[in-house]
Amino acid sequence: MQMTLRWYGTGHDTVTLKQIRQIPGVTGVITTLYDTKPGEVWSRERIRAMKEEVESAGLTVAGIESVNVHDDIKTGSGDRELYIENYIQTLENLGKEGIRMVCYNFMPVFDWTRTELARMRPDGSTVLAYTQEAVDAIVPEKMFESIAGDMNGSVMPGWEPERMARVKELFEAYKDIDDEKLFANLIYFLERIMPVCDKYDINMAIHPDDPAWSVFGLPRIIINKKNILRMMSAVDNKHNGVTFCTGSYGTNLNNDLPDMIRALKGRIHFAHIRNLKFHSATNFEESAHLSSDGTFDMHAIMRALYDIGFDGPIRPDHGRMIWGEVAMPGYGLYDRALGATYLQGLWEAIDKENKAK
C-alpha cells in the first residue's frame, strides 16, 4: 500500500504539500482540479501543472479524487453522450500524464451527507456526525443552510454553493430514477469508459454512498456487498473497481467490513480508512482512527487489506478538528496525520507478524 493524504490543491486547501511531506510514511497525495465542474474536460496542461507542483514538493500524485460525474450521466438524460465523451477525454489526458487511479461517485444530488460538521466531544475536539432524526426533520433545500455555518470558510466537495442553489431542480431531475435505473445508468457509463481505462491502465474506484442508505428518498446503490458484487460482475473488468471507504460502508452496521474487503480482492483500488462511533444505529460520529475510540476493529480491517494483497493508495479519512486548527471539516492536518501514522503502525505489525510465521 502507499500511504497518502487527500489534498485539494493550492488555494483550496489549508494544508500545504510541505506539511504533508513531513508526515512520516506519506509519499503521495490524492488530489483533483477542484475548480472544474462535473462534465468539463480536464486539459493535459492543467493536469501536468498539478503533477509538477506535487512532484516538486517531493510527493507523487497517487490518484484523483474525484473526477465528478455529471448528473445527466447519472440520470441517463439530457447531454449524457456529450458528458461521457468529455469524461473519456479527461481520462485520456490523465492516462497520458501517467495517472492510474480515479475515484468517483454515483450519488444523486448530494455527495456524502452529515447533519453536523462540528459536534463537540468530551475532549473538546469537534467531529462530523449524523443522526437520522435530523435528516427526517429537515427539507432537502434547507440541508445546505443548516450546515453552511460550520464549514470554516471552505467549499466542501459535493456541497458547492452553486450546486446547492439548484437543489430543487436536481431533485426534479431524479424524480423518476429508482435504484434499478441508476444502476443501469452506472453500467452504461462504465461500459463506455472501460476502453480508455484499458488503454492507459486506469483503475476506476467508485466511492460508496454515504450514508449507505437512501436519504431524502433518493436512490442509493453502492451500499453493500451484494450491490457492489453485482456491479463488478456486470462490468467484469479489473479496471472497474472500488474505493473501499470504511466510514461510508460502515454507516450500516450490517456491513461486515473485513468480509467485504475479502470479497473484493483484486478490485479495491483505493482505501479510505476511518472509524465511527455509534450511539445508536442511526446516530454516529466520526471518531479518531483508533479502534479504542470508535466501533470498528481497525486491526481486522487492515488485516483484511493486507491478506488480499492490497497495494493501492490508502488514506486516513476524515479527522477530528483538534489543537485549535481551522480547516475544512474532516480535512485538517493534525488528526489525519495521527491517523496516517496509526494505520501504518497497524500495517507494520501485521506485516512483521506475517513474515515471522
Q: Enumerate binding residues for ligand DNO (CB under 6 A).
A: 65-66, 103-105, 111-112, 157-158, 207, 272, 330
Contact (Cβ atoms closer than 8 angstroms) between residue 44 and residue 69: no
Annotated active-site residue in 70, 207, 269, 289: 207
Q: How far is the CB of 305 from ligand DNO (least distance, A)?
A: 17
Kindly tell me which of 159 and 347 has the beta carbon lying closer to ligand DNO.
159
Active site residue 245: yes
Kindly tell me which of 38 and 95 has the beta carbon lying closer to ligand DNO.
38
Active site residue 306: no
Question: What Å distances lie between residue 325 and 146, 274, 331, 333, 350, CA to CA?
Answer: 22, 19, 10, 8, 32
Residue whose C-beta lies closest to ligand DNO: 66
Active site residue 272: yes
Contact (Cβ atoms closer than 8 angstroms) between residue 279 and residue 120: no
Kindly tell me which of 161 and 309 has the beta carbon lying closer to ligand DNO.
161
Active site residue 318: yes
Active site residue 269: no
Q: How far is the CB of 247 from ligand DNO (least distance, A)?
A: 8
Select from 23, 29, 34 the least CA-distant residue to 5.
29
What residue spans of the chain are helical by DSSP H? 17-21, 44-56, 71-75, 80-96, 132-136, 140-148, 161-164, 167-173, 179-200, 225-234, 246-249, 257-263, 298-307, 334-356
User: Residue 275: which residues within 8 A CB-CB, separation 6 or more?
Assistant: 246, 247, 286, 287, 288, 289, 290, 291, 293, 294, 295, 296, 298
Q: How far is the CB of 330 from ligand DNO (least distance, A)?
A: 6
Active site residue 239: no
Q: How far is the CB of 159 from ligand DNO (least distance, A)?
A: 9
Kindly tell me which of 207 and 267 has the beta carbon lying closer to ligand DNO.
207
Show which residues are catalytic: 207, 245, 272, 317-318, 331
